[in-house]
Amino acid sequence: MLAYTDRIKEIARALLTDCRVELVIGFRKGTVPMMNEPCFINSPDEADQLVWDSNCGINLANYLANRTEKIGIVAKGCDSRNIATHIIENKIGRDQLFIIGVPCQGMIDRRKVNAMFDGEVREVVESDGLVTVRGADFEKSFEKSELLQQNCSVCTHRNPVIFDEMAADPVDEQQGVDRYADVREIEAMDPQQRWDAFEKLLAPCIRCYACRNACPLCYCPTCFVDEARPQWVGKSQNPVDVRTFHFLRAYHCAGRCTDCGACERACPVGINMRVFTKKLEKDCFESFGWEAGLSPDVRPPLDTYRPEDPDDFIK
Amino acid sequence: MEMIKIDKKDWNKGLDRSRKTYRLVGPVKRAGEDLAGFYELADKEHPDMGAADTVLSAKSVVYPQTEVMFRYTTDKNSPDCNRLKRPAADYSPRAVIGIRPYDAAAILMLKKNFDTPDYRDPYWCDAYEACTFVGLAVDAPSSTDFSTSTGSGPFSEKGLDVLLVDMAGHYLAKVLTDKGAAYMKAAGWQRAADAKAAAQQIEKKKKAAEALIVSSVSFDKIARKSILDLYKADFWDDVAFSCINCGTCTYVCPTCWCFDIQDESKGKTGVRYKNWDSCMYPLFSLHGSGHNPRGTKTMRARQRFMHKLKYFLDKYDDGIMCVGCGRCVRSCPVNIDIRRVCELMNRYGPDPDACAV
Ligand code: SF4
Ligand code: SF4
Ligand code: SF4
Ligand code: SF4
């Protein structure tokens, strides 16, 4: 990780020294355990701020939409797929970007780690795949693989799909992972069980929309939930409106979601709303063999027509 | 001031006894598995007094996220046609058990907004008056707790009617108001503790808890800086860059008081609601004309910090609009840290204390 950080700093410094970009978007060290803060730097002497470790789960593609500068951006696998999606959707031009690719080995699930201990987690350090968690009166080490965000543990695109320079050699992609075990569990439920499961899942939602705002796909100038004329969705804590938000948001991400996990990570109350987007991701994969953002040159299935597209849903 | 000793074995019994005259509210886990919040306790349900702090503050006790203001009908056949009717709500006495001292201090801040000589928000005031706040002193402050530097603190009594101090086998209860005394009576906790010894024990625990606080903010210079200088400071783009304007910081905050008003109507009947709102949302300041005076996220992030750390300070001359609970620091998905921003603001520009030469 340290080597990654050094290399990212070097590349960023060189980009800014040679004026090849106006700013570099990356991470700086956070103020609480397991958190780094997205930041931009625009002079070579700021390059030393940049860090890389297993706490860079925020999807940096989220900071690109509609920017007009030439930008250097640090991108792990999922970020790069969302950058590709942005390029397809004309939210940023490929020629505006210098992508510093980071082969990723997964991000630590902060909520999971915090939940493992009764006392407050005060420090988390990693070295050589081992993560040590410390509190005022405890210390425990884990294999990093035990602490990964769920989406990272089933990720099959850890290496950036597009980049201009890599910060390290590619890592091996995970083989034989079952990406959709959780979705199948929900598919197997009868409608009432599924309804109850969704009710329970969404009960704590405070409608802050952090899940939406953390997502690079949600860049609409006015989201349907914020629209006032006509007002599609009520604004109170009425469960009908909360549900409407979640279901519609998921559909708006169909065929575009890369399962980067930014939404789940951002939620202050720990809702795994990824079950919705993942179901659509699975459908896209099964119906169209589609995985979002693997190339900036291929249009996604929901805005293209192919004669061989499955049509057995037409009865 | 009365000191009462409550044996832990009498704790649940006392709570249950008080239910005859009080509705109980306290920290419990509901909904999601790890979401503890302040909820009305069901019969037989008891507050989780050992848990770490709640993700959401206790403000919802007096200030729910969604609240109906009134209902109306325009149906000519109804006797209530064209009348705005406030729905019946239960304002019978409620005891808020286990509220943290900083959350109680925050409720006094909310009061500055909802109960003023000129305006009185009846919903807030009625709920507030119904409440008796039975606080629990914090023995093991989290690393993001900076309450001692905001005028609150782990053993602060501000806004409380009773302060409970956990002494392992029993609680020492410091009764601070008549409301507090009435609650203790209703719970049947009447065993007086040796006042002097209890005060000493509490003082000792207080010192120990305060010594465990590792985090602080200074705002001593902010009051003497000009609003415009701070407003135009060069750090706002850097502060705001990572912000996704999710408003989480303001929703989890015990002191944020902003709300939006919404009407929902169907046919001839309708409802008007108050819903929490946040200055972090573009919609918060969007004008009917389509113009948005706070059109960028830098402007919105700046508003939050300027309100909490400058406008409030200037307006009320009573500290910052933050009790240092650390919730926003813990919950912000991108790690924007008010402690860092406060420091930037306090240090910005010429030092008002510097000697003139
Ligand atoms: S981030 Fe969580 S609480 Fe906020 S709207 Fe999304 S699901 Fe609800
Ligand atoms: S919680 Fe953080 S990201 Fe969300 S609005 Fe507040 S400062 Fe911005
Ligand atoms: S601003 Fe943050 S630390 Fe201060 S009271 Fe609000 S949530 Fe707590
Ligand atoms: S910080 Fe923002 S949401 Fe909070 S009270 Fe001030 S204006 Fe309202």
Question: Model confidence over B25-75: pLDDT tens digits?
Answer: 999 987 655 667 899 999 989 999 988 789 999 999 999 999 999 999 999
Does residue B187 share a domain with residue B278?
Answer: no
Q: Are the C-beta atoms of residues B251 and A208 closer than 8 Å to each other? A: yes
Does residue B326 share a domain with residue B183?
Answer: no
Which pLDDT tens digit goes with each residue over B201-215? 999 999 999 999 999
Q: Does A221 touch chain B (CB under 8 A)?
A: no
**How high is the mean pLDDT of chain B?**
94
Asked whether residue B74 is domain-assigned, the answer is no
Closest to B63 in 3D by CA, of B97, B22, B15, B109 = B109
**Atom 2 in ligand 1: residue holding the nearest Cα:** A267
Does residue B145 share a domain with residue B39?
Answer: yes
Which pLDDT tens digit goes with each residue over B164-200? 999 999 999 999 999 999 999 999 999 999 999 999 9
Which pLDDT tens digit goes with each residue over B119-163? 999 999 999 999 999 999 999 999 999 999 999 999 999 999 999
Closest to B148 in 3D by CA, of B307, B326, B309 = B326
Asked whether residue B81 is domain-assigned, the answer is no
**Atom 3 in ligand 2: residue holding the nearest Cα:** B243
A23-29: strand order across its sheet: A36-41, A23-29, A71-75, A97-101, A165-166
Write down which residue in B161, B178, B211 finishes a domain. Answer: B211
Write down which residue in B211, B240, B258 finishes a domain. Answer: B211
| A116/A143 Cα distance (integer angstroms) | 14
Does residue B229 share a domain with residue B175?
Answer: no
Give the position, in ligand 4's atom list, of the atom nearest the Cα of B308: 1
Q: Are the C-beta atoms of residues A69 and A96 closer than 8 Å to each other? A: yes
Q: DSSP strand E in chain B: where?
A: 2-7, 23-29, 36-40, 66-73, 94-99, 131-136, 162-166, 170-175, 259-266, 269-276
pLDDT of residue B357: 61
Q: What is the DSSP string of B252-305?
A: H-SS---EEEEEEEETTEEEEEEEE--TTSGGGG--TTS--TT-SHHHHHHHHH
Does residue B201 share a domain with residue B228?
Answer: no
Does residue B305 share a domain with residue B236?
Answer: yes
Q: Across-strand partners of A39? A: A26
Write down which residue in B162, B183, B211 finishes a domain. Answer: B211
Q: How confident is the model at residue B281 (pLDDT cuts 50, 70, 90)?
A: very high
pLDDT of residue B36: 76
Does residue B317 share a domain with residue B233?
Answer: yes
- Phi/psi-derived region of residue A124, left when phi > 0, alpha when psi is between -120 and 50, beta in every other case: beta
What is the B254 CA–ligand 3 centroid distance (Å)?
Answer: 7
Shortest distance, CA A235 to any CA of chain B (angstroms): 7
The domain total for chain B is 2
| A125/A133 Cα distance (integer angstroms) | 7
Which pLDDT tens digit goes with each residue over B237-246? 999 999 999 9
Asked whether residue B67 is domain-assigned, the answer is no
pLDDT along chain A (315 residues), means of 10: 89 97 97 97 96 96 96 98 97 97 96 92 92 95 96 96 97 94 96 95 93 96 89 91 96 95 95 96 92 93 86 80
Angle, vertex CA B255, rays to CA B86 and CA B97, nearest 5: 75
Does residue B154 share a domain with residue B189?
Answer: yes
What is the B256 CA–ligand 3 centroid distance (Å)?
Answer: 8
Pocket of ligand 1 (CB under 6 A): A 205-211, 266-269, 271, 273
Chain B partners within 8 Å of A210 (Cβ)? 244, 246-248, 333
Which pLDDT tens digit goes with each residue over A22-51? 999 999 999 999 999 999 999 999 999 999
Does residue B330 share a domain with residue B257?
Answer: yes
Residue B61's contacts (CB-CB under 8 Å, 6 or more residues apart) are B25, B38, B94, B96, B99, B127, B131
**Atom 3 in ligand 1: residue holding the nearest Cα:** A205
Quote the pTM value.
0.94
pLDDT of residue A309: 84
Asked whether residue B253 is domain-assigned, the answer is yes
Q: What is the DSSP string of B190-241?
A: --B--HHHHHHHHHHHHHHHHHT-------TTGGGS-HHHHHT-TTHHHHHT
The three-state secondary structure class of A281 is helix
In chain A the first and final C-alpha atoms are separated, in Å, by 54
Phi, psi of A243, deg, nearest 5:
-60, -45
Alpha helix (H) ranges present in chain A?
2-17, 77-88, 110-116, 150-153, 181-187, 191-202, 210-213, 239-252, 262-266, 274-288
Does residue B34 share a domain with residue B175?
Answer: yes
B301: domain range? 222-356
Name the interface residues of B facing A (CB cutoff 8 Å): 30-35, 52, 55-56, 65-66, 140, 142-144, 238, 241-242, 244-248, 251-252, 260, 262, 264, 273, 275, 278, 281-283, 329-331, 333-337, 339-340
Asked whether residue B126 is domain-assigned, the answer is yes
DSSP state of A49: G
| B11/A204 Cα distance (integer angstroms) | 29
Angle, vertex CA B62, rays to CA B7 and CA B255, nearest 5: 100
DSSP state of B307: I
Q: Are the C-beta atoms of residues A77 and A116 closer than 8 Å to each other? A: no
Does residue B139 share a domain with residue B113?
Answer: yes
Asked whether residue B66 is domain-assigned, the answer is no
Q: Is the dihedral of CA A275, A276, A281, A284 positive or negative?
A: positive
Neighbours of B181 (CB within 10 A): 17
B94-99: strand order across its sheet: B2-7, B170-175, B162-166, B131-136, B94-99, B23-29, B36-40
Asked whether residue B80 is domain-assigned, the answer is no
| B344/A155 Cα distance (integer angstroms) | 39
CA atoms within 13 A on the CB side of A55: 25
Does residue B250 share a domain with residue B207?
Answer: no
Shortest distance, CA B260 to any CA of chain A (angstroms): 9
Asked whether residue B92 is domain-assigned, the answer is yes
